[in-house]
């Protein structure tokens, strides 16, 4: 039999038995043809690959992530994925959709067409995430219809506005869900279901949402599995309790591992989905089970039945791994072609201007002035009890605290308090909204930071201890048409320019990685304490993540789904 490649002497992972079997593998027309003991006596191969006993594993599959979280383009993202053994992803571009609407989704898909990694997209379902923020674009039912009819779509992306789904039958999200269930009943619907239990959880499942990727507890996992929800386990959910439950119970078919959001420096220096796989093994999970959760179950969840296993007729995406416990990847093959060799220099081909001209002109803000960071209130001289956003290391959730601040001549004297000012500016030129609040906890103790990388609306968000530093940071970001800038005492400590929509860079991955690493260190030097300072900062404007956040509409009580005032009471 004439074939393209014969892999000889491999230790092949069999997904159906969840075990390794020594043998040979024949590949023809970019697919696996045969796995067994037959070799050169049967097959006439164009290429023979001596595996020398190495572990042959299906290409890793990540079914829930956002490329924009890494702040790079799809081509750069693909480059980073391959060397970490990831060959297929299901990205959801809801950040680009919040900036540009359906045009943002289409341009991300277009930019993915010639990437080595297969990228099958999820349609952003919650753009905007709530009705309490201004975004550059939206995704409506007609946009969903157009994308389903013109693009290669795998699922409806995470339903984020869970509060409206369970409380408002007529909300936009419920209209979308009803439309999908009626018109596209086979379409997979992904969920964002933090902390919900019992009736609220099951109400969401009844509405069609049947997966969850948010921070898990054992109690929450039990309830989700019991009602048929599929679990997508992020690294932050890999606690001892959660992992012990996954190890000790027969739930292999009900979960997979996903990355969701990976910062550029972590991507470059640590890895991607392979990081979670290695961590699972170190936490006691058998390699065979960990591999299963990074290949087979994600492919089944997304009905990608042509991949995720090494079996006849499946796409020949595979890795050769020399050290299973440490998951050391020697080679990565995509559709039977070698794409990565750990022993050779692996260089990125850099491309610029991959998007339309308008994508580089999305910041419609004038240069700000120092008075923009004054908080004027309708009180002469008094003490006011104010709401405070309280940030804690270990979570992107916040709490509401309260404290007494002084007002003099109708101006809140926030600079003399222990709190930072947090302010957001609508940046799309739609309404010129501004909103302010106070923030404390494991956050800045000095200086300021400004960012247009602020989930999900990506308006200009500024946090600081004084007006002058806030002004400099904000104007630097405006000047660069987007990015993140950190300032102390009138000096720019670090900047990450993000000229594509204010959220992406076209620089190489190693360049963006260094910029992000420098920014992270600068923020930490100013007192920001968090396991992921950039994600903590950027989600302060995410009004679907509990409990008190801020948008251009004002302070948002996420659990009650409403705007609340800064001042609670006057003394």
Domains of the chain by residue range: 58-307, 358-564
Task: Examine the pLDDT at 529 and tell me if it is beyond 90.
Answer: yes
User: What is the tens place of the pLDDT at every residue in 354-382?
Assistant: 999 999 999 999 999 999 999 999 998 89
Cis peptide before 76 (omega within 30 of 0): no
CB-based contacts of 388, cutoff 8 Å, min separation 6: 400, 401, 402, 403, 419, 437, 438, 439, 440
Q: Quote the percentage of the chain above a pLDDT of 90.
A: 94
C-alpha dist (Å) from residue 38 to 5, 57, 86, 337: 13, 19, 29, 22
- What's the pLDDT score for residue 153? 97
- Averaged pLDDT, 460-466: 98
Indicate the helix (H) or strand (E) that contains 468: helix 467-479
Place of tokens 């006849």: 312
Distance CA 206, CA 11 (A): 44
- What's the pLDDT score for residue 557? 95
Task: Examine the pLDDT at 571 and tell me if it is beyond 70.
Answer: no
User: What is the tens place of the pLDDT at every residue in 4-44?
Assistant: 999 999 999 999 999 999 999 999 999 999 999 999 999 99
Distance of alpha carbon 64 from the chain centroid: 8
Q: Which CATH architecture has domain 58-307?
A: Alpha-Beta Barrel (3.20)
How far does the chain reach from its first CA to its final CA, in angstroms? Answer: 88
Dihedral in degrees, nearest 10, Cα atoms 133, 135, 141, 146: -170
CB 264 within 8 A of CB 513: yes
C-alpha dist (Å) from residue 320 to 254, 332, 478: 27, 7, 46
- Averaged pLDDT, 45-66: 98
- What's the pLDDT score for residue 394? 85
User: What is the tens place of the pLDDT at every residue in 142-194?
Assistant: 999 999 999 999 999 999 888 889 999 999 999 999 999 999 999 999 999 98
User: What is the tens place of the pLDDT at every residue in 476-510?
Assistant: 999 999 999 999 999 999 999 999 999 999 999 99
CB 10 within 8 A of CB 34: no
Q: What is the DSSP letter of 388?
A: E
- What's the pLDDT score for residue 162? 86
Task: Examine the pLDDT at 105 and tell me if it is beyond 80.
Answer: yes
Average model confidence (pLDDT) across the chain: 96
Distance CA 433, CA 449 (A): 20
Strands (E), 392-542: 398-408, 411-412, 420-425, 434-441, 448-451, 460-464, 483-488, 491-497
CB 464 within 8 A of CB 447: yes
Q: What is the DSSP letter of 159?
A: E
Place of tokens 């081909």: 349
Distance CA 25, CA 33 (A): 7
Task: Examine the pLDDT at 307 and tell me if it is beyond 80.
Answer: yes
Distance CA 437, CA 565 (A): 9
Distance CA 487, CA 473 (A): 6
- What's the pLDDT score for residue 400? 97
Give the CB-side neighbour count of residue 428, counting CA atoms within 13 A. 18
Burial of 401 (0-12, 13-18, 19+ CB in 10 A): middle
- Averaged pLDDT, 296-317: 98
What are 231's strand-pairing partners? 212, 255
Distance CA 402, CA 383 (A): 13
- Helical segments of 330-373, H only: none
Distance CA 77, CA 268 (A): 10
Among the listed residues 177, 168, 214, 172, the one whose alpha carbon sits nearest the alpha carbon of residue 193? 214
- Averaged pLDDT, 262-267: 96
Task: Examine the pLDDT at 570 and tell me if it is beyond 80.
Answer: no
C-alpha dist (Å) from residue 525 to 445, 517, 528: 9, 12, 7
Indicate the helix (H) or strand (E) that contains 469: helix 467-479
CB 67 within 8 A of CB 256: no
C-alpha dist (Å) from residue 41 to 38, 44, 52, 150, 177: 7, 8, 19, 47, 56
- What's the pLDDT score for residue 427? 98
Instruction: Classify 111 as helix, strand or coil.
Output: helix
């Amino acid at each position: 039999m004439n074939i393209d490649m014969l892999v000889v002497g491999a230790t092949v992972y069999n997904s159906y038995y969840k075990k390794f079997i020594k043998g040979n593998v024949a590949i023809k027309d970019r697919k696996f043809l045969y796995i067994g003991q037959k070799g050169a006596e049967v097959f006439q191969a164009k290429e023979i690959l001596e595996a020398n006993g190495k572990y042959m594993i299906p290409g890793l599959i990540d079914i829930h992530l956002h490329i924009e979280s890494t702040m790079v383009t799809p081509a750069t993202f693909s480059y980073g994925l391959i060397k970490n053994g990831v060959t297929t992803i299901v990205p959801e571009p809801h950040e680009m959709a919040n900036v540009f609407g359906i045009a943002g989704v289409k341009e991300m898909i277009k930019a993915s067409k010639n990437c080595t990694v297969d990228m099958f997209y999820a349609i952003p379902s919650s753009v905007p995430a709530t009705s309490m923020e201004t975004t550059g674009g939206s995704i409506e039912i007609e946009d969903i219809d157009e994308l389903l009819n013109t693009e290669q779509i795998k699922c409806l992306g995470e339903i984020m506005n869970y509060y409206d789904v369970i409380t408002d039958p007529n909300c936009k999200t419920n209209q979308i869900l009803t439309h999908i269930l009626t018109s596209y009943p086979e379409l997979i619907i992904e969920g964002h279901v933090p902390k919900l239990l019992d009736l609220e959880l099951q109400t969401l499942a009844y509405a069609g949402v049947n997966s969850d990727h948010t921070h898990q507890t054992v109690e929450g996992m039990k309830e989700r599995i019991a009602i048929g929800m599929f679990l997508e386990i992020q690294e932050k959910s890999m606690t001892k309790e959660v992992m012990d439950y996954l190890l000790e119970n027969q739930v292999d078919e009900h979960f997979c591992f996903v990355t969701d959001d990976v910062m550029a420096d972590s991507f470059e220096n640590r890895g991607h989905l392979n990081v979670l796989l290695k961590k699972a093994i170190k936490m006691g999970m058998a390699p065979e089970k960990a591999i299963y959760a990074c290949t087979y179950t994600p492919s089944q969840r997304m009905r990608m039945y042509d991949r995720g296993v090494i079996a006849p007729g499946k796409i020949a995406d595979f890795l050769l791994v020399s050290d299973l416990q440490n998951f050391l990847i020697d080679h990565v093959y995509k559709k039977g072609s070698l794409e990565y060799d750990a022993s050779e220099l692996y260089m990125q081909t850099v491309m610029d201007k991959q998007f339309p001209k308008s994508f580089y002109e999305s910041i419609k803000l004038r240069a700000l002035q120092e008075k923009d960071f004054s908080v004027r209130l309708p009180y002469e001289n008094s003490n006011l009890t104010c709401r405070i956003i309280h940030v804690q290391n270990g979570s992107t959730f916040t709490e509401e605290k309260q404290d007494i601040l002084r007002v003099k001549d109708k101006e809140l004297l926030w600079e003399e308090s222990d709190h930072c000012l947090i302010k957001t500016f609508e940046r799309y030129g739609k309404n010129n909204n501004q909103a302010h609040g106070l923030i404390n906890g494991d956050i800045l103790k000095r200086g300021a930071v400004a960012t247009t990388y602020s989930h999900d609306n990506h308006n200009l968000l500024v946090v600081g201890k004084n007006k002058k530093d806030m002004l400099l940071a904000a104007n630097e970001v405006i000047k660069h048409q987007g990015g993140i800038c950190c300032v102390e005492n009138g000096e720019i400590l670090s900047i990450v320019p993000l000229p594509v929509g204010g959220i992406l860079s076209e620089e190489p991955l190693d360049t963006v990685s260094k910029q992000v690493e420098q920014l992270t260190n600068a923020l930490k030097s100013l007192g920001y304490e968090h396991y992921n300072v950039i994600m903590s900062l950027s989600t302060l404007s995410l009004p679907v993540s509990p409990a008190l956040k801020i948008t251009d509409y004002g302070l948002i009580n996420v659990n009650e789904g409403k705007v609340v005032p800064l001042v609670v009471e006057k003394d």
